[in-house]
Amino acid sequence: MTGAAVGHVVESRTPDLPEGTVVLHEMGWRDISQGQASAFRRVDPPSDDIPLSLYLGLLGMPGLTAYVGLTRIADLHEGETVFVSGAAGAVGTAVGQFARLLGARKVFGSAGGPEKCELILQKYGFDEAIDYKKEPIRDQVNRVIGDDGLNVYFDNVGGDHLEAALDVLAPFGRVAMCGAIGQYNATKPQPGPRNMANILQQKLRIQGFIVSDHAREAHAEFQRVVGQWLAEDQLVYDETIIEGIENSADAFLGMLRGENTGKMVVKI
């Protein structure tokens, strides 16, 4: 399985990455990796207080995904409203916090179950939490967000969540389509939104994106801005840590089932 990892160099033939250097790589699920120096990216944590695992979460791909989705794809403006699905996950918790720091007037999130809803309200500063397990998401979104109107929908789930958002997006609203985790395990084709005419009527813009397409252009800005927020204690985070590489598959499947809060990490 491909995937990012962070760890220490234990043996090296290049002075650029001596033993002990903290590095990131994309060489997959394994307890030790060997390769050309170009396959590893040096990481210099600003302090010992920052766990290395954050470079797989808030300071890594999930955080960059949230930042790119809000600033490049959704073009979030100060005073606008934001709704993010999968709000208790690694990307969702970052989206909620970044949106607030970028000037959003109100931030809504959906999560599965009362505990996760309470978490995003109390810890992550969301204004409203919608429990998609409680009743149909479309009914709740219309009731909770309908009167406020919605400018930006950050979609991690797809399916019924996208349909719900299309009901309440204001004219010229934007959808940043990051994922469709609600459909990944489907065993048959899923129906599309029944209200796609709203895209035309409300003059909406829907754009899918893959964060790797923006990594080179946005990475330095992301590290500077988010690193500063973290240094100023303006950001919080959660991790679900599973011990042992032999449990990687269970951790991955648990993530797809929504069993994680924040980033799902396997510690070796």
Classify strands 150-155 and 128-131 as parallel, antiparallel or unpaired. unpaired
pTM: 0.88
User: What's at 92, amino acid-wise?
Assistant: G
Residue in this structure with the two tokens 């204004």, named with its chain if needed: 127
- CA dist 255 and 153 (Å) reads 22
For residues 43 and 86, membership in a common domain is answered with no
Residue 220 lies inside a defined structural domain of this protein = no
Residue 224 lies inside a defined structural domain of this protein = no
For residues 259 and 203, membership in a common domain is answered with no
Q: Where are the alpha helices (DSSP H) in the chain?
A: 61-68, 90-101, 114-122, 137-144, 160-168, 197-201, 215-231, 248-256
Give me the DSSP letters along 46-63: SSTTS-GGGGGTTTSHHH
The pLDDT profile of the chain, 268 residues, written as one tens digit per residue, is: 888 999 999 999 999 999 999 999 999 899 999 999 999 999 888 777 888 999 999 999 999 999 999 999 999 999 999 999 999 988 999 999 999 999 999 999 999 999 999 999 999 999 999 999 999 999 999 999 998 899 999 999 999 999 999 999 999 999 999 998 777 777 888 788 999 999 999 999 999 999 999 988 998 899 899 989 998 999 999 889 999 999 999 999 998 888 887 789 999 9
Q: Are 111 and 129 in contact (CB under 8 A)?
A: yes
Tokens of 73: 């794809």
Q: Are 76 and 97 in contact (CB under 8 A)?
A: no
Beta-carbon count within 10 A of 14 CB: 12
What pLDDT score was predicted for residue 43? 87
- Cα-trace Rg, the chain: 19
- Domain residue limits at 49: 5-59+235-267
CATH code at position 50 = 3.90.180.10
What pLDDT score was predicted for residue 245? 94
What pLDDT score was predicted for residue 129? 98
User: What's at 130, amino acid-wise?
Assistant: I
What pLDDT score was predicted for residue 189? 81
What pLDDT score was predicted for residue 156? 95
CATH code at position 157 = 3.40.50.720
Phi-psi region of 233 (alpha: psi -120 to 50; beta: other; left: phi over 0): left
- As for how many domains the chain has, the answer is 2
- CA dist 128 and 123 (Å) reads 12
For residues 81 and 203, membership in a common domain is answered with yes
